[in-house]
Amino acid sequence: MRTPIVAGNWKLNKTISEAVELVTALRDLVANVTDVEIVVAPTFTALSAVARALQGSNIRLSAQNIFWEDSGAFTGEISPVMLKDVGCDYVIIGHSERRQYFGETNESVNRKVKAALTHGLKPIICVGERLEDREAGKTKSVVENHVINGIDGLSAEQLLSTVIAYEPVWAIGTGITATPNEAQEVHAFIRSLLLRNYSADVTEQIRIQCGGSVKPDNAVELLTQADIDGALVGGASLEAESFAQIVKAGSG
């Protein structure tokens, strides 16, 4: 049985005080949820204050990006050691916005994934096709490329600490969602890819989140699909009430 994981990706939003206000409201709203893993991913500048505000709660902390070196002359980067130090359990890696605007490649994603795991951080690896890929019938080949290269070289134990987020790029921030059937088909495909290199037992335990305009009104039908194990939520995670509703859609 996989515990669903619902994560809020706040992207480039919220000052420190706004971030603390949001998680303070959220922790009350989801305090009774015990069967969903709840994660928030603030900006780097808010991580420390949010970590303090979350102490003793059932909400885990994630960063939105990472660099693979521990320290050194890498101006502007944040290391796995620093993310652990500030209290992160998770880190989002390879979000489509990072691939599109900041030149992330499957290779850099894989290096980051390995660095995160080495330091005890759990990667949430984002994969997903663009609209032109889907229209050209390339959804599966693009997703396969992202998944296989993103997890390249991971041991079964490392894979078990990894979450995959399937986010069709055309659904992110657009209000257009993949239908539950469309999403389920790709999620089942991703699980079948894992079977190539890992046992059925391991593959069955890997959590695959869906993402792309997940909202309170579509969360239940998505999160009840057989291979959908939670959600990575952008816009709807910026407000405590709507994010809490999505968390609860994954519960029970």
What tokens does 210 get? 């869906």
> Rounded to the nearest whole angstrom, what is the least distance from the CB of residue 214 to ligand PEP in the complex?
5
Q: Given 97, 104, 129, 167, which residue is catalytic?
A: 167
What tokens does 141 get? 């080949």
Binding mask 207-226 for ligand PEP (x = CB under 6 A): ----xxxx------------
Q: Given 95, 119, 146, 187, which residue is catalytic?
A: 95
* Stretch in the footprint of ligand PEP (CB under 6 A) among 112-120, 129-137, 190-198, 233-241: 233-241
Task: Give the number of residues in contact with ligand PEP, rule: CB under 6 A.
Answer: 13
The answer to whether 235 contacts ligand PEP (rule: CB under 6 A) is: yes
Q: Report the residue from 5, 6, 8, 9 that binds ligand PEP according to the rule CB under 6 A.
A: 9
Examine the residue annotation and report whether 119 is marked as an active-site residue of this protein.
no
Residue with smaller CB distance to ligand PEP, 79 or 250: 250
Of 79, 59, 60, the residue nearest 68 (C-alpha) = 79
Residue with smaller CB distance to ligand PEP, 20 or 172: 172
The answer to whether 233 contacts ligand PEP (rule: CB under 6 A) is: yes
DSSP the chain: -PPPEEEEE--S---HHHHHHHHHHHHHHTTT--SSEEEEE--GGGHHHHHHHTTTSSEEEEES---SSSSSS-TT---HHHHHHHT-SEEEES-HHHHHHS---HHHHHHHHHHHHHTTPEEEEEE---HHHHHTT-HHHHHHHHHHHHTTT--HHHHHT-EEEE--GGGTTTS----HHHHHHHHHHHHHHHTTTS-HHHHHH-EEEEESS--HHHHHHHHTSTT--EEEESGGGSSHHHHHHHHHHT--
The answer to whether 8 contacts ligand PEP (rule: CB under 6 A) is: no
> Rounded to the nearest whole angstrom, what is the least distance from the CB of residue 9 to ligand PEP in the complex?
4
For the segment 81-110, give every residue that binds ligand PEP (CB under 6 A).
Answer: none
Residue with smaller CB distance to ligand PEP, 167 or 229: 167
Residue with smaller CB distance to ligand PEP, 90 or 198: 90
Residue with smaller CB distance to ligand PEP, 67 or 170: 170
For the segment 115-174, give every residue that binds ligand PEP (CB under 6 A).
Answer: 167, 172-173
Type of residue found at 135: E
* Stretch in the footprint of ligand PEP (CB under 6 A) among 28-36, 136-144, 221-229, 234-242: 234-242
Residues marked active site are found at: 95, 167
Residues that bind ligand PEP (CB under 6 A): 9, 167, 172-173, 211-214, 232-236
